[in-house]
Chain A
């Protein structure tokens, strides 16, 4: 696609329910990143993928969070048993490669605004 696409754009869920957020990266981009931005806060890095592999999951806030990527393309971020503090905008980005300086600028999607009530 022309840009990074995220769905849904908005999600309201009840506390305790599971949610799944989807990211379609730019075609051909091997690196994919998830961030979240809480109201009035900066961007918090969560996890990155190189291909289908996520070498470091330490940025995920808790074990309720998981992410996967299949076929080197679409990625899903799953939050189980959502809590109110999970409310944030979840942003996905992709870049051609991970190697800095070689066209590695990251292109961001518009985000999914998650509200846990």
Chain B
């Protein structure tokens, strides 16, 4: 039972903003949206997370729609090293209190290819 839907792949020109989207229409009020990426042959890398407000850090920005049913990750100036599979994950706010007993549930993600 996938909680998120992402396009399997997308291309972006180097230097442009890459913006992989994610649908999470069944998200509950207690669930955060997390983004990770996995560069080939490496372990996944945390990028950013948010609940309902837009978030920005040194790696990316996260735009969450007002109804929280979808979000978009923004890499403002994509480089060739940003080529990776990007995973959008929803996760319960309070696992420790029994809201969920699993770890991060990764789907298939979006294979983002940055073209030179």
Contacts and interface: CB of A to CB of B under 8 A. Distances in A.
A110 B43 contact: yes
A95 B96 CA distance: 13
A25 interface: no
Interface residues of A, number: 26
A20 interface: no
A19 interface: no
Nearest to A44: B106
Given A101-B32, A105-B49, A109-B43, A48 B93 contact: no
A99 B45 contact: no
A44 B107 CA distance: 9
Contact of B102 (A48, A50, A99, A106): A48
A105 B44 CA distance: 11
Given A100-B95, A101-B49, A101-B51, A33 B42 contact: no
A107 B104 contact: no
A33 B104 contact: yes
Interface string B24-49: 00000000101000100011111001
B77 interface: no
Contacts of A55: 101
A99 B49 CA distance: 13
Given A42-B108, A100-B32, A48 B94 contact: no
A4 B49 CA distance: 21
Contact of A59 (B42, B46, B95, B102): B102
A50 B32 contact: no
Interface string A22-41: 00000000000101000000
B68 interface: no
A97 interface: yes
A56 interface: yes
Interface of B: 32, 34, 38, 42-46, 49, 51, 87, 91-96, 101-109
Q: Can you list the 4 inter-chain pairs with the closest CB atoms, starting with the nearest?
A: A108-B43, A105-B46, A43-B106, A56-B101
Interface of A: 4, 33, 35, 42-45, 48, 50, 55-56, 59, 91, 93, 97-101, 105-111
